[in-house]
Structure 1
Amino acid sequence: MPPTTPTYPRLTTIFGPNPNISFFPAKRVRSISDRLGHNRLDQLLEEIRAVVASKVKATSSIPQAHVNVHQGAEPDHDLPGLETINSHIGAYFDTVHPLYPFLSPDAFRQRAAVPDLAQSLAADKSWAALFYAVLAIGCQNNEGGSFEAGIGEAWSYFERSLSYFQALLFGRGSLTAVQAFMALAIFSSTVSAFQFEPLMLSEAATMAQGLGFNRSNSPQEGPCRRTFWVLYFMEKTSCFTTGKVSILEDANISCAIPDVPESTFDDYDWFFSFVKYARLVAKIHQSLFTISSVSQPLTAYNSLVESLRLELESWRLSAPPRFRPGEMLKPRLLRESLTVQVALTTHFLYLNALLTLSWTVLHYGAVRLGTTQQEVMKRDLMRTARSVLELTGYIEVAPSTPVWILAVLPLSSLMILFDLVVHNPNHPETGLSLALLDIAGGHFSRLEYASKGALPGSLVAEFAHLARNYVSETRKSKSREASENVPLQLAAEAPPPPPPAGMLGTAMNLNVPMMPQPQESVAGLPDVTQPWSPASLDRNESLFLPFVDDPSYYLGDLQLFGIDVRDLFDHPYSL
């Protein structure tokens, strides 16, 4: 019979099944809890799971406006004032359009400025959906957003746009409809509506491919090409993060990549760089996250991983130094509008891909790697997770920040570092890792403050508390053991007692050598390592990970099972 997946309860991911955004699976929780000596980690993860579940439930509920459409009522076109509309549209094109340049600013502004705007919206549902989605995003960047679903001015515009979802889905496909789905996806990338993003992107990709945007090359199809390539990097990076299968077929794409001046920041062509990154992560996803990839021969697997790492490094080096990921982010060199945000996003894109490569290889390919390669991958995993946490100070804690930057990648990195600290309390870099856990806790506490308690980030700060307490107790225990061994050491090193008086001459005549006196430190104590000093730590640089270094550890929770269907037809099949 085929193997079956273990059924223990687990909190593995927010979005999807792949380990690039993984929480702790059940077996890892047991391993860590055994070391901690209590079950507070289980309780903490259960509390986080309850928060995530409540957010998913809230954002998955059908908006009232959508119910009204089903009941035959037309959406309300009670528009805000002209000044408000222009302010929100301006905010969209100033803060969001340079990163997602799929609209024509002049054409959109012109269409939104007609005197009979309400009639225009009522006559074209795709245009209405796009208009309200842009208004929602602009309002979100104009301090009108919220961390909670269904609350705030921005959500009211989003709800209006979402009320046209059925009309977009079953109507005739068009460029405007694809753009409406994409605008809805941008709003849904934030914490208040994150459950909608994969749906919006998949529908946009299906419609765009059906309309042939992936093959659009004539001069008059410039808007289609621009829209397609923005959709390409949105859909590919989303699938990489969530573990979903991409709908866009790379082998069927023939349209040229357009020049997008508004997405060029002096020396950095953000648009072209992002498209190159999207293609790279699509290759990583296809090569490492499929059933077929698990059974690759050793030489092919190692060669593939090394090739992907080299491609990622090449992409990193292609960025100008002031934007280049993997190097220190220097805001003083990023004076232009949006450049700090673009630099941070570039850093996080790179670190997310590198974290995914290290994490995936260690889980699925560690047995195929040599000892040296394993150590390199483990160090890369630790340092990449730490790099993410170092950058949390640059994250804008706002409702408009994408949830994968605001919470998902920092939370995954925090959990990876927490795991490494607990399993390596005496590693020489554990002190630095503890400090970074505290920094991450501060970031999530800021999130709780900004959301007025709607997102209880202080729960995450408790990871740092658990780790610090465990390391402290471990080192105290080691210090006590050292102290208990001191009398034995002194007894072993002390000179023998003087012989009886009658034997003194005999002893001297035998030329018995004098035993050396024990050396004493300045404090008058024997020269033994003092507790809490760096010398008391294990100077072995090796990192211990249970699923790599413990042969009895079987991570069944994350194991990929299945049959490669190609083997059924390409090779003789045998049980």
Structure 2
Amino acid sequence: MMQSPRLNKSCDQCRNRKVRCIGTPYVYHVPSASLFPVQRSPYAVPSTPPGRPVTCTHCLKRNEACQFSNLKRRLRLKDSSTPQKSPRSDFRPSSDLFIDRLIRNPSESAALYDEFSILKVHNDRGYFDVLHPIYPFLDRQLFEERAKRPDLVHVLGTDYAYCGLYYAVLALGCQYNGFSSFIPDDSHAWKLFQVALTRLDRIIMSTESLSNLQALTAMAIFATNTFSLQLDQTLIAEAGRMVLALRYHKSIVSEDSTLCHRTFWVIYHLEKRYSFQARSNSVIADYDIGCPIPNTPESVLGEYNWLVSSVRFGRILAVAYASLFSISASTQPDDTILAAVDHVHTLLEEWRLSIPLDFRPKEPLQRSRLIDGAFKEIALRTHYYYYHIIIALERLTLHVSRDIARSENSMRALLKTAREAINLTRYIDVEPYTPVFILAIIPLSALFILFDFVVHHPTDPDTRGHLTLLDIVTGHFSQLDHASNGAIKSSYLSGFSHMARQYVQSVPKRPVGDTEPSEPRDSQPSADIPIPSHDASNDALMALNDPTLMEGLDYGSLDSLYFLTPDSNWTAGISSLAEFDPREYYGSIFL
């Protein structure tokens, strides 16, 4: 027998805001057999429509329609013979979180949370042209006014939070003004940053405050831009812990709410990207975020709101990690994983299309606009963020897909992404202030993707263009080696380009119209594909066998899902290219 529908006890608006629904007083009229009406509680909501709508106090204040939806009952299916759905249909996108509504409408007023059970005593809580639009966590006017005070020396000696912030900002400014170097202890920026680090222990051990959080954030930004310093993980983790302890992810704060929320979203952006890159879970739970995204004019370039866009991307990274790269996700059937991949692709494409054409990934960059420092860095970040997750998604697809057509599409998507990433290296400033993510990680991923494809498909029609791109990207790393005075030994990567070119030249040309036979998965190279027979210079092999290869680069930050690197002993026993077939020694990206 079907049950009559019942209404929710809270209206739809209050349910969405997760606030208590307080109804207006209402007198219910009982059947005529009763002589007296029954006065109900003002907080009661009728189970069936009484003849006229009841409007709660919240909707009255907001002048919104107050609607009570039917209560959804969870019914159990008694018929066990019902056919089960395929595993692919088991994937369901996560429910709409409050952060998703904040991202869709940044100006929407966030629901206010009355944290009456929390008793907490809060303390008082020059790199600006380029970095401030990317990380708008400071009030520039207040910072500069305090820096110009005549008693600045006294303040720096007594206020360790401001001292850490002050010297970290000076260090960042030195990076962008030519007073930095890839070599620690050889630049003004590093010396200033060391002064900031002397205050780190007091900042971490003291009571949480906005000033302490800002100091941590500035130091974390400096650390993420460097090769040798291994403090970025510690600083970002501490900033994430502190911002949650201060409860800036909630709506109600006792300080300058706009500045507090700015700082939270900057840390959200930093922490989500770092966590995904490091293949670890984020410490910031998206389902517990309830603060608005404040208006930040300094982060708006034309029609592009960078802060909102970076938050959107961070949200996509959180969804991708939870549904694809977490431990629980790795135990799901392949069809379920592929469905999740499609969902993340959809989110990523929506994000890409929301970006203005001047910054949109897969669209050409306007060289004339790249003169502006902030424009160029935000444009490069936007493109490389997009390529970052595309590489991860397509690599995962190649691992789990058993569909030939889909695997072919993923392979071509990887190649296209690698080509576009390498084409952008011409715009990268090979300077100490450029983030390692842009300077090395994505270009290195693209290099290995192209190299792997060339040595496995030497007769592909696009091989000539791929070899040219390998020359370009290895030239980028040679420039990095030169700019760092050998501190970052990356010129050895030119050996990959040299080796790939010589190998391709040694393979006999196929007749016109003859296509290269595809190799089965997990199989050895077919015997009819010749091995280079000419005596070539083995300089490239000697360079690649050098134990100092890529010394200085942090391989721990290079996710194995983005590319596979050669084994450390892959050139052992090889004396010349005449006896070398790279497919026998190199771990293939394209399975």
Shared fold (TM-score greater than 0.5)?
yes
Q: TM-score, normalised by structure 2?
A: 0.65
| Structure 1: segments with no counterpart, 5+ residues | 1-88, 483-528, 530-534, 560-575
Q: Does 1:346 align with 2:382?
A: yes
Q: What SS does the aligned partner of 2:356 have? A: coil
Q: Does 1:538 align with 2:515?
A: yes
Q: Does 1:305 align with 2:341?
A: yes
Output aligned runs, 1:154-553, within 5 Å: 154-217=189-252, 220-334=256-370, 336-363=372-399, 365-366=400-401, 369-474=402-507, 478-479=508-509, 529=511, 535=512, 538=515, 549-550=521-522
Q: What SS does the aligned partner of 1:215 have? A: coil
TM-superposed CA distance for 1:297, in Å, is 2.8
Instruction: Kindly provide the amino acid, as one letter, of the partner of residue 149 in structure 1.
Output: P
TM-superposed CA distance for 1:151, in Å, is 2.0
* Distance in 2 (alpha carbons) for counterparts of 1:442 and 1:399: 18
Instruction: Kindly provide the amino acid, as one letter, of the partner of residue 233 in structure 2.
Output: P
TM-superposed CA distance for 1:317, in Å, is 0.9
* Distance in 1 (alpha carbons) for counterparts of 2:306 and 2:388: 17
Instruction: Kindly provide the amino acid, as one letter, of the partner of residue 471 in structure 2.
Output: D
Contact 2:447–2:473 (Cα < 8 Å) also in 1: yes
1:112 aligns with one of 134, 147, 156: 147
TM-superposed CA distance for 1:536, in Å, is 7.4
TM-superposed CA distance for 1:419, in Å, is 1.0
Instruction: Kindly provide the amino acid, as one letter, of the partner of residue 464 in structure 2.
Output: G
Deviation string, structure 1 residues 73-95 (Cα, Å, up to 9, x no partner): xxxxxxxxxxxxxxxx2xx0112
Deviation string, structure 1 residues 324-379 (Cα, Å, up to 9, x no partner): 1011122224565521221111111111111111112223x13xx41111111111
Deviation string, structure 1 residues 232-273 (Cα, Å, up to 9, x no partner): 001101112222321111111111111110000011111111
Structure 1 residues 300 and 258: CA distance shift in structure 2, 3 A: same
* Distance in 1 (alpha carbons) for counterparts of 2:445 and 2:329: 24
Instruction: Kindly provide the amino acid, as one letter, of the partner of residue 309 in structure 1.
Output: H
Contact 2:458–2:504 (Cα < 8 Å) also in 1: yes
* Distance in 2 (alpha carbons) for counterparts of 1:408 and 1:137: 21
TM-superposed CA distance for 1:194, in Å, is 4.1
Contact 1:128–1:161 (Cα < 8 Å) also in 2: yes
Q: Which residue of 2 is the match for residue 151 of structure 1?
A: 186
* Distance in 1 (alpha carbons) for counterparts of 2:232 and 2:291: 25
More helix by proportion, 1 or 2?
1
TM-superposed CA distance for 1:216, in Å, is 3.4
Q: TM-score, normalised by structure 1?
A: 0.67
Runs of 4 or more consecutive aligned structure 1 residues displaced over 6 Å after TM superposition? none
* Distance in 1 (alpha carbons) for counterparts of 2:141 and 2:514: 63
Structure 1 residues 416 and 337: CA distance shift in structure 2, 3 A: closer
* Distance in 2 (alpha carbons) for counterparts of 1:335 and 1:445: 24
* Distance in 1 (alpha carbons) for counterparts of 2:373 and 2:476: 24
Structure 1 residues 409 and 558: CA distance shift in structure 2, 3 A: closer
Contact 2:261–2:291 (Cα < 8 Å) also in 1: yes
Q: Which residue of 2 is the match for residue 127 of structure 1?
A: 162
Contact 1:188–1:197 (Cα < 8 Å) also in 2: yes
Contact 2:338–2:397 (Cα < 8 Å) also in 1: no
Instruction: Kindly provide the amino acid, as one letter, of the partner of residue 463 in structure 1.
Output: F
Contact 1:421–1:430 (Cα < 8 Å) also in 2: yes
Contact 2:131–2:374 (Cα < 8 Å) also in 1: no
* Distance in 2 (alpha carbons) for counterparts of 1:141 and 1:291: 40
Q: Does 1:103 align with 2:138?
A: yes
Q: What SS does the aligned partner of 2:178 have? A: helix
Q: What SS does the aligned partner of 1:213 have? A: coil
Deviation string, structure 1 residues 88-133 (Cα, Å, up to 9, x no partner): x2xx011211111000000100111111111101111111111110
* Distance in 2 (alpha carbons) for counterparts of 1:304 and 1:141: 41
Instruction: Kindly provide the amino acid, as one letter, of the partner of residue 538 in structure 1.
Output: T
Q: What SS does the aligned partner of 1:388 have? A: helix
Deviation string, structure 1 residues 440-492 (Cα, Å, up to 9, x no partner): 01111111221122222211111111111111112xxx25xx8xxxxxxxxxx
Contact 1:445–1:461 (Cα < 8 Å) also in 2: yes
Contact 2:358–2:366 (Cα < 8 Å) also in 1: yes
TM-superposed CA distance for 1:298, in Å, is 3.7
* Distance in 1 (alpha carbons) for counterparts of 2:465 and 2:229: 33
| Structure 2: segments with no counterpart, 5+ residues | 1-125, 526-558, 562-591
Instruction: Kindly provide the amino acid, as one letter, of the partner of residue 429 in structure 2.
Output: E
TM-superposed CA distance for 1:552, in Å, is 8.0
TM-superposed CA distance for 1:538, in Å, is 3.3
Contact 1:216–1:224 (Cα < 8 Å) also in 2: no
Identical aligned pairs, as a percentage? Answer: 39
RMSD value over aligned CA atoms?
Answer: 2.1
Instruction: Kindly provide the amino acid, as one letter, of the partner of residue 405 in structure 1.
Output: I
* Distance in 1 (alpha carbons) for counterparts of 2:407 and 2:230: 36
* Distance in 2 (alpha carbons) for counterparts of 1:187 and 1:229: 18
* Distance in 2 (alpha carbons) for counterparts of 1:552 and 1:425: 16
Contact 1:217–1:256 (Cα < 8 Å) also in 2: no
Contact 1:388–1:413 (Cα < 8 Å) also in 2: yes
Output aligned runs, 1:18-57, within 5 Å: none
TM-superposed CA distance for 1:187, in Å, is 0.8
Instruction: Kindly provide the amino acid, as one letter, of the partner of residue 480 in structure 2.
Output: L
Structure 1 residues 558 and 112: CA distance shift in structure 2, 3 A: closer
Q: Which residue of 2 is the match for residue 25 of structure 1?
A: none
